[in-house]
Chain A
Amino acid sequence: MKLKGWKELPIGGIVTQPGNSREVETGTWRIARPIVDPSKCTDCLICWVFCPDDSIPSNGKIRFETELYHCKGCGICAVECPYKAIEMVSEADVILEELKLIEKK
């Protein structure tokens, strides 16, 4: 999200749009991210119930991919998953993997 300058903000830091905290990227806080093993996931949506943010999108039937813009990496979903389908992977490892991919290219 592009940060606003001082002239663009309503005076006094007043929030004029309800629910605009969705615009705030909290995913940058994360040190580990949930990686789902699709072969184990049954779409039971227990993770959707327990997620303290709204980082697990669902249409009520299917668990969609984790929404990493807001996911803070708390790991509750991994602990609560009855099928051990979610693994918390360190962000450092994710970055290292990405770097390796770039090197290979």
Chain B
Amino acid sequence: MAVELIKERKTVAMTGNQAIAEAMRQINYDVVAAYPISPQTELMGFFAEYLANGLVDTEFVTVESEHSAMSAIIGAAASGARAMTATAAQGLLYMYENLPIASNWRLPITMVLVNRALSAPLNIHCDHSDAMTARDSGWLQLFTENSQEAYHSLIMAVKIAEKALLPVIVNMEGYIVSHTIGNVNLFADAEVRDWLGESDWRTTVPHPLLDTDHPVTYGATALPDYYTELKYQQHVATWSAKDVVKEVLREFNELAGTDYALVEPYKLEDADFAIVVMGSTAGVARTAADILRERGVKAGVLKVRLFRPFPVDEIVENLKHLKAVAVLDRHDSMNGLASPLFQDIAASLYHLPERPMLHDFVYGLGGREVTVEDMLKAFNRLINLYTGKETRSSFVDYLQVRE
């Protein structure tokens, strides 16, 4: 039985990796499998220490690759275990072929993705290009702004995954959050365990492999006569997962006294111009909006917490009245219309008779520092495009590139 370490709530200065390891300890996963990759290595190091000290009941599988990590977790979850892994960048790409399988099999897996830029060039720092590759894999995706949100989100993710029967990625920005100390309000261990409920292999998934009285086959072929029906099943599940996320956020807010929502507006009600952003950059964007408001510009920010399923209605509701919107993508889709967040927002607004002008800014690649000045630059460019002072040759600007 897991040891009760924290008996009442307390605030501790922690890095994101420490906070995630703490959440993992409190969740007391049945199975964790992982392979080290910066900036995730430290996270699993902290957790391994808890394991070595006998604080958790987890079966920790130290596999030889990320491909095996995801395979082990899929097997564990199909057996009925509460299972988790964490990775980053190339690690996610190496496990990639297993991601759509976990989703179609409807396995309630949680994964922490410590966001890191993809090679090449080799870079261990943050951007969202790893997360964006998982965009169409059928996994749900939450983005987080700081250690506190990362800690909360992993706990929420377990419940979301088990209610929706879908795997969930919790994005935590590499180094910016994973290795930066901030205040984290920790729950008492018992609170987390009560809120999530005891992990029970008989009920975690509808057909656990451990139920040897009712043997089942996972991974059977579905030929052209059945593939469509099984994909549609997944399609319906992923879209209706939005309601599950809403419900779990509501329950969580009650427990924690937080105010989490699928998307989080900042001074948008009377705004003319806004930045839409995910992750830690929301903070500097809000500061930039405040500075602009002091100068008489009605600026606001929309932070997107739930990226998949994409909260179309909530996005439309918050952006429809604006004059112009700058979408910030920490990733470049390279040869699409623009980057993923922009594409989704543009598509969400398309059916409106009148909609805000949109511009996409690629920023923060490979850990490039994002400052308030950068956000002001994006706002200024957006306003100049809107007023016609400046023109554009495409929908995308690189916000921070040197000529």
Chain A positions within 8 Å of B, measured between CB atoms, are 3-7, 9-16, 18
Contact = CB atoms under 8 A, between A and B. Distances in A.
B216 A6 contact: no
Contacts of A3: 225-226
Contact of B206 (A4, A5, A10, A18): A10
A4 B206 CA distance: 19
Nearest to B236: A6
Nearest to A1: B225
Contacts, number: 49
Interface of B: 104-107, 165, 206-207, 214-218, 220, 222, 225-226, 229-230, 232-233, 236-237
A15 B233 contact: no
Contacts of B230: 6, 9, 12-13
B106 A18 contact: no
B207 A16 contact: yes
15 contacts: A4-B229, A6-B230, A6-B232, A9-B230, A11-B165, A11-B206, A11-B237, A12-B104, A13-B220, A13-B226, A13-B230, A14-B218, A14-B220, A15-B217, A16-B216
Given A15-B216, A16-B214, A10 B207 contact: yes
Interface centre among B222, B233, B236 (most CB of A within 10 A): B233
B106 A11 contact: yes
Contacts of B225: 3
Given A6-B230, A13-B105, A13-B226, 15 more contacts: A4-B226, A6-B232, A6-B233, A10-B216, A11-B106, A11-B165, A11-B237, A12-B106, A12-B233, A14-B105, A14-B207, A14-B217, A15-B220, A16-B216, A18-B215
